Amino acid sequence: MEKFNFEEAEKRLEVIKTELNSNNVKLDQVVSLIEEANKLIKYSLKYLEEAKSKISNEDN
């Protein structure tokens, strides 16, 4: 997977969602897109947790 920043990951997830909602995707593509989406979601959640932690630390 490429290196993404948070905003790029969000945009890519939107593209994946659109592709999955179309009826033109083969099963092997669906599996690949879901795997990519899972990686992007994990990255995004980690990014948000780190941001939350930074904000919490600045408040203390």
- pLDDT, tens only, 25-47: 999 999 999 999 999 999 999 99
Residue partners of 1: CB distance under 8 A and separation at least 6: 36, 39, 40
Stretch 8-31: mean pLDDT = 96
pLDDT value, residue 1 = 53
pTM exceeds cut of 0.85 = no
Look at residue 60 in the predicted model and tell me its pLDDT.
Answer: 63
Tokens of 40: 């992007």
Q: How confident is the model at residue 50 (pLDDT cuts 50, 70, 90)?
A: very high
Contact 6, 50 (CB under 8 A): no
